[in-house]
Amino acid sequence: MKMDGRKQQVLMAIIQDFIATAEPVGSRTIARKYKLGVSPATIRNEMADLEEMGLIEQPHTSAGRIPSDLGYRYYVDNLMQRGELTKDEEDIIKNGYESKLKDVGHVIQGTGDMLSQLTNYAAVVMTAQRGRTAFKHIQLIQMSEGQAMVVVVTETGAVHHRIIDIPESITAGDLETISGVLNRKLQGRAMEDIRLTLMKEIYFELAKQKQILNKAMDLINEGLTLEAEDKIYLGGVFNILNQPEFHNVEKVKTLLSLLEQEKLLHKLMSEVFDAGGITVRIGGELSNEKMQECSLVIGTYGLGDEPMGSIGVLGPTRMDYTRVVTVVEHMTRNLSLVMHRLITGRNR
């Protein structure tokens, strides 16, 4: 069976109508609403063909057709054309970032909020800086006998902190010294460099405080890799309650429990991490079987061709792909710009 122009038109009509109404689409509806210039009977014949090709299916005999995962796939790959954002929406993004330019935490959170607001689905934002962020400042602060707080600030404005145990013999003065040396030596370096080249040098200078130094280095590593790299921000999760496919509380519960698992999200988002551009995962294409009724649109942002993280929109398979892909594309572009500004010049 080969795909001709009219079949495409019919498939497109079915998908668009189903996305809009969430109801199975009948031949009559298509003939009436989408003016293909043929009768319902002809459309029925085409639909029979499309069904045979696996692009659409029937919930039950006397219902209309709904798109299958494969149908959505064909639509996304071949039929869908990118849309444009309205002036207003462009402004929302611009203003949204303008006010949050100060540190990476706000930028990430703002991105998630805007994504969900613009699409009305749930948003997932993942940062994965992979050690490329530059170190800015470290401070060791004595909290009590045997305890100190380590605060690490990165070039992007992320602040990581943790309380660590230290030998009781170490004084506030020692901590100040260590902070000073670390700051001097690590100034402006990227994490990768810190690990590989500087350790020995600093060890030498601070031989006395080896133990505490170890812990500080651990935190820098953690701070700039683990915490920053795998951080996942969720936004607008409750938007899914507005989708008719989630009017059943049980489904909501299973989906929410899935979203609580950072690992799972991380896996889903990472599967396409190196792909670049926009990726669409539809229903069964998502590796998790409990997510068969969802689709995920993922975009990667970064500096040049070096990826820094990805952003995604999660909704029902019946999501408005045109709009979501458009929004995700815009947001990745904007986010890349903002991150560039944040990491390099901060030129404002």
Site of interaction with DNA (CB under 7 A) = 6, 24-29, 37-42, 44-45, 47-48, 51, 58, 60-65
Q: For residue 66, what are its two tokens? A: 């709904």
Taking CB under 8 A as the criterion, the residue among 144, 207, 274, 304 binding a copy of itself is 144
Which of helix, strand or coil describes residue 347? coil
Select the binding partner of residue 44 from a copy of itself, DNA, none (C-beta < 5 to 8 A, by kind): DNA
Question: How would you list the strands of the sheet with 306-316, edge to edge?
Answer: 232-235, 122-127, 306-316, 294-303, 278-282
Say which amino acid occupies 104. Answer: V
- Which one among 7, 28, 132, 136 touches a copy of itself, defined by CB under 8 A? 136
Q: Could you tell which of a copy of itself, DNA, none binds residue 114, using a CB distance below 5 to 8 A set by kind?
A: none
Which residue among 9, 116, 139, 332 contacts a copy of itself (CB under 8 A)? Answer: 139
Number of residues that bind a copy of itself (CB under 8 A): 33
Phi, psi of 268, rounded to the nearest 5 degrees = -60, -45
Angle made by CA atoms 330, 119, 238, in degrees to the nearest 5: 135
For residue 25, the 8-state DSSP code is B
Closest distance to a copy of itself from the beta carbon of 162 (Å): 7
137 binds a copy of itself (CB under 8 A): yes
Distance between CA 256 and CA 254 in Å, rounded?
A: 5
| Number of C-beta neighbours around residue 315 at 10 A | 24
| Nearest-angstrom CA–CA distance, 309 and 233 | 12
Shortest spacing between CB 268 and a copy of itself, in angstroms: 20
Spell out, one character per residue from 15 to 54, where the chain touches a copy of itself: x when CB under 8 A holds, - when not. ----------------------------------------
256 binds a copy of itself (CB under 8 A): yes
From the centroid of its chain, how far is CA 65?
Answer: 32
Residues that bind a copy of itself (CB under 8 A): 102-103, 136-137, 139, 141, 143-145, 147, 149, 151, 153, 155, 157, 159, 161-163, 238, 241-242, 246-249, 252-253, 256-257, 260, 345-346
